[in-house]
Amino acid sequence: MNLADPIQKSQRLRLRPAERRLLLLVGDFSMAWLALVLALVLWAINSREWLGFTPEFFQARVQPWFYLLPFAWLLLLADLYDVPRASHPKPTVRGVASAAAIGLGSYLFVYFASPPNSLPRTAVAYFLIAVALFTLAWRLAYIRIFTHSTFLQRVLLVGAGKAGSTLLEVLARVEANPFEVIGVVDDDPQKLGQSIAGYPVLGGAEELPAIINREQVTDLIVAISGSMQGSLFQALLDAQQSGVEITTMQNVYEELLDRVPIFHLEADWMLRSFVEQSRVGAFYLTTKRLIDLSGGLIGTLLLAIILPGVTLANLIETGWPIFYLQTRSGKNDQPYRVIKFRTMRQDAEKDGVPQWTKENDDRVTRVGRLLRKTHLDELPQFLNVLRGDMSLVGPRPERPELIALFQQHVPFYRARLLVKPGLSGWAQIHQNYAANVEETNLKLEYDLFYIKHRSLWFDLGILLRTPATMLGFRGR
């Protein structure tokens, strides 16, 4: 078969990561409403007087906020819309149990802070038990059904160079990979018959139609960063016209890892893609600032609550000062003074040379180690948020001296200065503090992904996932 032969349209089902997230969301929302109905039924049956599902029952018992519980449940599940995590039973069970526990704890706090008998107890308990069980049953059914090979995308990689081999290595590491990779197509005759990261090179552009038909390929991933031969370009057009989905290595990398592949981007990527897609409107910026002000006020209140205890503990162990001020680079590289609780000895950088924070760093005090593990050392930065130096969500603020170093080794590093640094961020919830250039590369991939895709919904998701990071004691 050659390029003139028609490509048959594949009849296989396929679910992309974005479609899987939507499926999970719809299923969770349906389970939440089913749990709400069951909770109302049990509430009515066990109420002091049987009112049935009559207007009297809803007027006398059910308050309007009760109907918002399904939406609150979806917010508590924010950490479970990561497709790889959602495809495994253990993190699913943990995530649902954690959401139920946080929901229960939050409601008990509100309940005991409210006037006596002003809020129901049993009705909310019914809902939490039912929604946890229903959601868990749905999620386990999803794992059993929708991770089957029937719903996987059968993928052929076009390009066996550095970008292609990097993507194949990534796919090999990703748990619950949504792709069933058939092999690789490359026009280099020396690669024919060889294996790239364990996947065979099946042929060149001329064999592409035959391979697509024989293997029932549903998707092509193009991993070619340089120029493309006309025959290959025509083969890709023919494949697309027959219904085969075509995407690029960069897009798949982002979709799977929620990161930007900084070492596999063309030189004009910053202007051609990143700058265009990272633009936001005045509504987003204004609303984000209002959220920052609200969060800053709440955070300052929390700071005031723990300040006496932290002060006393620090004074007993190492004395003054309690706070630590350091110059950081803000938006557009504007310097500002970040405020944190001091967690290291007073002579941690006595020679004035910036140093990496290491695992089990001996410069960190005992009190400081606890503050770092729980990220409570960053609470004073809420004052920076109120001042407008920082945002609740954004890249971690960095020192000017280290930025000058990173620019020499990390491509596109200054792009993270397009937005305000944040107390929390996409990189912060995925990775600990960077201790070397390699880890800095990884953090930048997360930061650029956030800047490129930032939105109010994205910011909200990061904020909802931040407590899990703190409670997980992942600080260094």
Domain boundary assignment for the chain: 17-146, 152-257, 282-471
Indicate the SS3 state at residue 368: helix
Rounded to an integer, what distance in angstroms lies between the CA atom of residue 309 and that of residue 203?
67
pLDDT at 3: 46
Query: Which of 428, 427, 423 has the alpha carbon at shortest distance from 449?
Result: 427
Backbone φ and ψ for 474, nearest 5 degrees, come out as: -95, 5
Query: Which of 378, 389, 332 has the alpha carbon at shortest distance from 475?
Result: 378
Rounded to an integer, what distance in angstroms lies between the CA atom of residue 130 and that of residue 126?
6
Instruction: Tell me which residue has tokens 């292609």.
Output: 164
Hey, how many other C-beta atoms are within 10 angstroms of the C-beta on 87? 21
On whether the pTM is more than 0.85, the answer is: no
Question: Which parts of the chain sit beneath pLDDT 70?
Answer: 1-14, 47-61, 175-176, 226-227, 266-273, 275-278, 346-361, 435, 468-476
Distance from the Cα of residue 354 to its chain's centroid? 30
CA distances from 25 to 30, 83, 368 (A): 9, 11, 40
Torsion of CA 17, 23, 27, 32, to 10 degrees: 70
DSSP letters, 69-111, are HHHHHHHHTGGG--HHHHTSHHHHHHHHHHHHHHHHHHHHHHH
Beta carbons within 8 Å of 100's beta carbon, 6+ residues apart: 76, 128, 131, 132
Q: Helix 69-76 crosses helix 17-45 at what angle (to 10 degrees)? A: 140
Tell me if 5 sits within 8 A of 208, measured CB to CB: no
pLDDT tens, position by position, 418-442: 899 999 999 988 877 776 777 888 8
Tokens of 307: 């300040």
Q: Which amino acid makes up residue 74?
A: L
pLDDT at 269: 66
Hey, how many other C-beta atoms are within 10 angstroms of the C-beta on 180? 18
CATH architecture under which domain 152-257 falls: 3-Layer(aba) Sandwich (3.40)
Pairing of strands 199-203, 195-196: antiparallel
